[in-house]
Amino acid sequence: MKRSLPLAMLLAFGLATAARAANEADYKAAYATAEAASKEAAGLRNQWTVTVSTLAAAKKAADGGDFDRATAAAREAEALAKASIFQAASEKEAWKAMEIR
Amino acid sequence: MKTRSALLLGSLSAALVAFALTSPRVVAADKVDPVADAKAFQNFFFQKFPDVKHEDFVNGPYSMNADMKRQWQEKEEFPPYEFALDAGKEMFATPFKNGKTYADCFPNGGVGIRQNYPYFDEKEGKVVTLELALNRCREANGEAPYSYVKDEMASLTAYMAFTSRGKPMDIKIPDDPRALAAFENGKRYFYTRRGQMNFSCASCHVQSPGERIRAEVLAPALGILNAMPIYRSEWSGMGTTSRRFVTCNSQTRAVPLEPQSDEYRDVEYFLSYVANGLPISGPGARP
């Protein structure tokens, strides 16, 4: 009993944290990070259309006051932008494997 | 002990011979050699499709599929690009406000020269495409440039391509490191994967010509620009080479570059050069 009480408290605390609704500050932080990654991808001339549309969806959700959805979309946009940055870096050499010689 | 030394010496010699044999290959592979690239490119398609006549590659998907080819040949009796062709001919002959015409901007009055575009302009140090040259001609004569992707530009290039029909593509790469760099840059663009779909131009047009992607039969990369501009049923209208690059990028979920960006000009240079010797067939019609 003594041992299970702290464990249960920890679990309850964890669930409560995870279930906390995102607020405007969370969204703004997530959006800023995603936007920076998106700009980096565009600078590499390797922007993905889905990054742009997901960022737009994040903004639209935030404008409607749905910060849960907005934050989730911003994080997704960040992941997409980072994937496109990774693609640009790896393709610097990888394209040669496709070349007809 | 003697056996071990002999084995060691033998292995070392073999390694040295292997290194000596492979190192020149590595150097050769890194050197820009458009002639060798074009030969390898053409051979790849000729060997992959031994039954396709060489000059037929310029007909894109129709060279890959007999049923489609028959339908297209019937369509060619009343081709869907005919309106654009007529409009282009009229536009080409109509003087600008200053009294000059397109003919004044091009060698041979602009007739029968499509096969020489794009070319490398040594003065500018960049590739100049036919679309770019047309808009530069307009601007030099005080006219506003046209959209690079359709309508007027497609009509003008349709007419110019028509006057070159049957002439073999004849792209030159001058002995200029900038021209070689442009060719190499175009090649890199062609083979580089992009977009969320992680597709390169080559994913469809080298690895899968003749295969279906949804309802469409993919065209081979060899001679793919010889038929430009094209009427596409999918577009319900005409489209230029610029439009083709832009839509290809969008289809891979990559944000397209601006028409006539350096990358697009270079990839047009690369694709046109490796199609040297194949006839101009534009304007074309595609599903």
Per-residue pLDDT at B215: 86
B189, B253, B273: best mutation site toward chain A, by most A Cβ within 10 Å? B253
What's the average model confidence in pLDDT over B62-91?
A: 95
Let me know if B248 is a catalytic residue.
yes
Of B29, B40, B202, the CB nearest to A98: B202
* pLDDT above 90 (res A8): no
Q: Is B196's CB within 8 Å of A49's CB? A: yes
Of the candidates B194, B203, B250, which has its C-beta nearest A87's C-beta? B194
Query: Which amino acid, residue A42?
Result: A
- Residues of B with Cβ-Cβ distance to A50 under 8 angstroms: 196, 253
pLDDT at A15 > cutoff 90: no
Within 8 A of B205 by CB-CB distance, chain A residues are: none
Distance of alpha carbon A57 from alpha carbon A68, whole angstroms: 12
Q: Which residues of B touch A (CB under 8 A)?
A: 29, 37, 40-41, 44, 187-188, 191-196, 198, 200, 202-203, 206-207, 250, 253-255, 257, 263
| Tokens at B13, concatenated | 């010699």
Closest residue to A100, CB basis, from B40, B188, B200:
B40
Q: Which residues contact A45 (CB under 8 A, 6 or more apart)?
A: A88, B257, B263
| Residues of chain A positioned with their CB less than 8 A from the CB of B40 | 100-101
Check pLDDT > 50 for residue B72: yes
Closest Cα in chain B, distance from residue A67 (Å)? 26
User: For residue range B182-234, what is the model confidence (pLDDT) as tens digits?
Assistant: 999 999 999 999 999 999 999 999 999 999 998 889 999 999 999 999 999 98
Using CB atoms within 10 A of its CB, is residue A74 exposed (0-12), middle (13-18) or buried (19+)?
A: buried
pLDDT, average across residues A51-80: 98
Mind listing the pLDDT tens digit for each residue in B153-192?
Answer: 999 999 999 999 999 999 999 999 999 999 999 999 999 9
* Predicted complex ipTM: 0.85
Nearest CA in chain B to A101: B40
**Which CA distances in Å does A31 have to A58, A64, B21, B80?**
8, 15, 54, 47
| Burial class of B13 by CB neighbour count within 10 A (0 to 12, 13 to 18, 19+) | exposed
Of A81 and A5, the one with more pLDDT: A81
Q: CA-to-CA distance for B231 and A23, rounded, in angstroms?
A: 51
The C-alpha of A38 sits at a distance from chain B's nearest C-alpha, in angstroms, of 12
User: Token digits for B78?
Assistant: 């009343």
Residue identified by tokens 């408290």 is: A9
